[in-house]
A and B are shown apart, each in its own frame.
Chain A
Amino acid sequence: MESKRPPPSALVDSYVVPGDIILDLSEMTNQTIKIGAGLRQDCDTIQATSAGMLRLSKPNKYWVESSHKSYIPSVEDTVLGVVVDIKPDVGTLVYARVVKANSIMNPELSCMDAMGKSTEFTDLKGGYMFDTSTGLSRMLLSSPTCPVLEALGKKLSFEIAVGMNGRVWVNAPSPSNVILVSNAIIKSESLSAIQQKVMVENLLQRVS
């Protein structure tokens, strides 16, 4: 089809606030741009609707990376939910996948993946769940493993489930380990990689 690539927006990888104009579409002909979270088309321009960093994934997908405490469901996200309507299991914590999500209806979750297998989508027994921001969840799920989890994993044994909705579940053989891991994760949100490692080392020294 068209061989000419659209020039990337000048604001890519910089901080944008709601109202900033990212792209002017009147300059482009016959080109497809995909817009993701935090962006909206307004006549001939693409504008940001959230505050965050503008990201571009070649060739033409744009989105705004931002971190909130309240989660907006989107399809194919894996989240931690609490059952509210199935009688015997009300109150169970479940690791599930978002199947349907739009602004009109309540989101629909499923414990099976697209193929029909339900290996990793189970209910989580024991342990402790806490709420953080969506940005921290993304950091915990990033690969390579984020520094705080790597540092904790070297000395302690624990299991962890991270939901894209900001919820994190931690389980470990002893309650003090659960508390240590949870606190380390909560504190690591605004720290750089090196600061995270140092913080974890300090915590572990104080305990052992």
Chain B
Amino acid sequence: MVETGRADGRNPNQLRPFSCTRNPLNRAHGSARWSQGDTVVLAAVYGPKPGTRKGENPEKASIEVVWKPKTGQIGRQEKEYEMTLKRTLQNICLLTVHPNTTTSIVLQVVNDDGSVSFHHIIAPLQLTSFVSAAVAISCGVMENGAVILDTSKAEEQQQLKSFAHLVFPNSCKSVVGLKEPKQKDEQVERGLITSITHGVMSEDDYFNCIERGLAASSRISEFMRNTMQKDASEAA
């Protein structure tokens, strides 16, 4: 019998409750505080500012990411996060819309309870004008081969054989879909933007993770869209 008893009693596909606060910081051009269970991250976006740094291509916008851990000095792990985030953003942003500009993103980890990679980038980045959004999910593979979503720190460190952080594109509204009848699972192209794995997992497990993650990501997309819409309709 396959029992996936998770420490906090969630079932394998259940995400921790998430919430988001928009624009908690006044001075930043855009900011958001995202919490998923006990993991809380604060992100601030400044830009686009004129001018690129030395060594960056002036025909495209450049993105600068600073990652600040909760405690301790900035080390290799933080630099790795910064680089992954920068690469992910370069792939999802239209960089040619504002050439020769720099956008800075600063992330502060307020509390780390697992899955601290990318969840928080989404909301503030909507505020800059050249981003198409993405959603991040982390999936883990347990000893007995079962796949669970949204891993907590305890799970990541002790129970899991391996885990992966995946970034999927946002699910979008489309006028196209309204006219033709949709086939049962078909959506506007979904793919994988970024994938970081830790540990060893089989191919089947990996594809299983991707499928589960994709399904769950549409829930997060819905939530984000609703949050932003609420903000806009309050202001209107």
Q: Interface of A with B (CB < 8 Å)?
A: 9-11, 15-24, 27, 38, 40, 45, 49-53, 66-70, 72, 103-104, 106, 135, 189-190
A190 touches B172 (CB 8 A): no
CB of B136, distance to nearest CB on chain A (Å): 16
Q: Return chain B residues, CB-CB under 8 Å to A20.
A: 172-174
C-alpha spacing A5/B228, complex, angstroms: 32
CB of B97, distance to nearest CB on chain A (Å): 7
Which residues 169-189 of B sit at the A interface, judged by CB distance below 8 A?
A: 169-170, 172-176, 178-179, 188
Q: Return chain A residues, CB-CB under 8 Å to B129.
A: 38, 49-50, 66, 68, 72
- If over half of A's interface residues share one DSSP class (helix, strand or loop), that class is named, otherwise mixed; here it is loop
A51 touches B127 (CB 8 A): yes
C-alpha spacing A21/B187, complex, angstroms: 13
B99 touches A15 (CB 8 A): no
B175 touches A11 (CB 8 A): yes
Q: Return chain B residues, CB-CB under 8 Å to A68.
A: 29-30, 127-129
Contact of B175 among A15, A24, A66 (CB under 8 A): A24
B236 touches A49 (CB 8 A): no
Q: Return chain A residues, CB-CB under 8 Å to B131.
A: 18
In the complex, which residue of chain A has the Cβ closest to the Cβ of B169? A19
Interface string of B95-133 (1 = CB under 8 A from A): 001111000000000000000000000000011111111
A190 touches B225 (CB 8 A): no
B228 touches A17 (CB 8 A): yes
Is B191's CB within 8 Å of the partner chain A?
no
Number of chain B interface residues as a range: 35 or more
CB of B61, distance to nearest CB on chain A (Å): 9
B170 touches A19 (CB 8 A): yes
Is B50's CB within 8 Å of the partner chain A?
yes
Is B229's CB within 8 Å of the partner chain A?
yes
In the complex, which residue of chain A has the Cβ closest to the Cβ of B127? A68
Interface string of B123-166 (1 = CB under 8 A from A): 00011111111000000000000000000000000000000000
Q: Apart from A15-B229, A18-B131, A52-B232, what are 14 other A-B pairs with CB-CB below 8 Å?
A: A15-B225, A15-B228, A18-B130, A18-B132, A19-B132, A21-B172, A21-B174, A24-B175, A38-B129, A51-B126, A51-B228, A70-B29, A103-B100, A106-B50
B97 touches A11 (CB 8 A): no
B94 touches A23 (CB 8 A): no
B29 touches A69 (CB 8 A): yes
Given the known inter-chain contacts A19-B172, A70-B47, please indicate yes or no for A189 contacting B133, CB distance below 8 A. no
Is B8's CB within 8 Å of the partner chain A?
no
Contact of A17 among B50, B126, B178 (CB under 8 A): B126
User: Could you give 20 example pairs across A and B, Cβ below 8 Å?
Assistant: A10-B178, A11-B173, A15-B233, A17-B228, A18-B131, A18-B132, A19-B132, A40-B97, A45-B176, A49-B97, A49-B129, A51-B126, A52-B232, A53-B232, A66-B129, A68-B29, A68-B129, A70-B29, A103-B100, A190-B234
Q: Return chain B residues, CB-CB under 8 Å to A103.
A: 97-100
Is B235's CB within 8 Å of the partner chain A?
yes
Given the known inter-chain contacts A17-B126, A68-B129, A103-B99, please indicate yes or no for A22 contacting B175, CB distance below 8 A. yes
Given the known inter-chain contacts A15-B228, A49-B94, please indicate yes or no for A69 contacting B175, CB distance below 8 A. no
A104 touches B97 (CB 8 A): no
Q: Return chain B residues, CB-CB under 8 Å to A38.
A: 129
A17 touches B130 (CB 8 A): no
Q: Return chain A residues, CB-CB under 8 Å to B132.
A: 18-19, 49
CB of B18, distance to nearest CB on chain A (Å): 18
C-alpha spacing A53/B233, complex, angstroms: 9
